[in-house]
Amino acid sequence: MSNRISPPFTPEIMSLAPPESVLATSGDYHLSLTSESAGRFRGALKEFLRQSECEFVALIEHSGAVLLHESSPAAAAAARRPNPDTLGVLAAGLFGSTQMLARELGESGAPEVFCHGAGRHFFVCPVSETFALLAVFDETVVVGVVRLNAHRAAAIISASLKEVVKSRTGYGEVSSIPTAPAENPFLRYN
Amino acid sequence: MALVNHETREVQFKIVYTGPALSGKTTNLQHIHGRLGEHERGDLLSMATSTDRTVFFDYLPIDSVLINGYETRFQLYSVPGQAAYNATRQLVLRGVDGVVFVADSGPDELENNVEALRVVDENIARNNPGSRLDDLPLVFQYNKRDLPDAVAMEHLNLLLNQRSRPAPFFDAIASQGVNVFATLNAVAQDTIGRFHAAEAANAAAAQASPGHVEPHLAAVHA
């Protein structure tokens, strides 16, 4: 059975600069989290954890990407810790589907999601149109306190979000991303 | 929508496997999960019915090449193929960086392949303003080539891949792992390549006109 890769995708050709039309084609924006932005957001998340006494908080994008996450010292030391990326992906799916459900019901604006578990609860609230905050907490924490502080943190973060969102071909900050061409990341497994 | 984290020195991309129902999207992810070592991938998360049909999405994070100190990570998703799940499919296509269209080579599936491709294009346009399927890194995988009555590759390609810039395509038997990684490699390579090209353009534009913010980002900033 032949391995049919069309000619433009051989490694040699890929190392050449793509034509102009290709430059404008990889999604409408990307996220670029600098150390300065990360520090600012992390400060807001840590303050949220301190005031709300939650176990875990994450800033997620609606595609499922987790920008940042923080855990309380007790949660960070726990033997069994949930994977933050998995939490982010699931929370983004949940939040997105809740938004769609609300819209179907004639609601406008972004809803909040609160799940009351047997011992552990979570809360998702919008930070902007495409970002949300996920908070995880146990039964000792008052949900109203979580909600209040989540909105405070969301307000702080949303004020700085434009630092993170970059045009794919536009005029964002000069980034320090490497420009080396990709080789064959996975062909060795074939 | 790539995520560049300068703090953790990580670049993250989202690749979505799509296609008609039962074409082998989840099988691709299962094979990748099975072949990669534990240090190279996370857990395979499947939101499936009791009969193993994907109901929301499957998700598999994998690590890839290290370029100049930045680790490249791919978040692989597969979406449900059934028409009834179009709403959830749209959610998963948000912020997609690359697409693998897994087509079914069965002779009775031609219409489903065409319809699924049309819907993907429509969903990408709806959920990624300014983007069309043709604009994204796209790879076709013509799966189930072991079927005795499989439709000729040329026929499938004529039907699905008549595009302004034809996408790379592979014959595959995902259940046996044939060309699963070749498909992944092609879409990953194209995604990384375009990202770096866009970054270079970004840097050049920033030097020419610092401080400018494009109007189409206003909604994201809001």
CA–CA gap between residue B163 and residue B136 (Å, rounded): 12
| Burial (Cβ within 10 Å: 0-12, 13-18, ≥19) of residue A17 | middle
Q: Which of A6-20, B41-55, B78-92, B151-165 bottoms out in mean pLDDT, i.e. has the lowest?
A: A6-20
Q: Is the pLDDT of residue A6 over 70?
A: no
Could you tell me what percent of chain A has a pLDDT over 90? 46
> Per mean pLDDT, which range of A129-138, B28-37, B61-70, B135-144 is the poorest?
B61-70
Contact B96, B187 (CB under 8 A): no
**Is pLDDT larger for residue A19 or for residue B142?**
B142
Question: What percent of chain B is modeled with pLDDT above 70?
Answer: 92
Residues of A in contact with B222 (CB under 8 A): 128-129
Is pLDDT above 50 for B154?
yes
- Where does the pLDDT of residue B156 fall: very low under 50, low under 70, confident under 90, or very high at 90 and above? very high
Q: How many CB atoms lie within 10 A of CB B98?
A: 27
- Which residue in A6, A26, A187 is closest to B182 by CB distance? A187
Question: Does position A183 have pLDDT exceeding 70, yes or no?
Answer: no
| Mean pLDDT over the full length of chain B | 87
pLDDT, position A52: 96
Q: What is the pLDDT of residues A56-80, one digit of tens each?
A: 999 999 888 999 999 999 888 887 8
A-B Cβ pairs (cutoff 8 Å, strict): 256
* pLDDT at residue B114 is higher than 70: yes
pLDDT (average), residues A153-179: 65
Query: What sign does the CA torsion over B218, B192, B126, B58 have?
Result: negative
Residue B135 tokens read as 């604009």
Count CB atoms within 10 A of the CB of residue A98: 16
pLDDT surpassing 70 at residue B73: yes
* Residue range B184-211, pLDDT digits in tens: 999 999 998 888 787 777 677 767 765 5
Q: Which residues of B touch A175 (CB under 8 A)?
A: 4, 6, 199, 202-203
Kindly report the pTM of this predicted structure.
Answer: 0.83
- For residue B119, pLDDT beyond 60: yes
Mutate to test the interface with B, among A2, A14, A21, A29 (most CBs of B within 10 A): A29
Would you state the pLDDT for residue B210? Answer: 59
Q: Which residue of B has its CA nearest to A189?
A: B181
Residue B211: what pLDDT?
Answer: 56
Distance CA A171, CA A65 (A): 23
Distances (CA, A) of B125 to A120, B76, B130, B209: 38, 20, 7, 29
pLDDT digits (tens, 9 = 90+) for A100-147: 889 889 988 778 999 999 999 999 999 988 899 999 999 999 999 999
Contact B30, A56 (CB under 8 A): no
Residues on chain B touching A162 (C-beta within 8 angstroms): 213, 217, 221
Q: Per mean pLDDT, which range of A122-131, B62-71, B78-87, B147-156 is the poorest?
A: B62-71
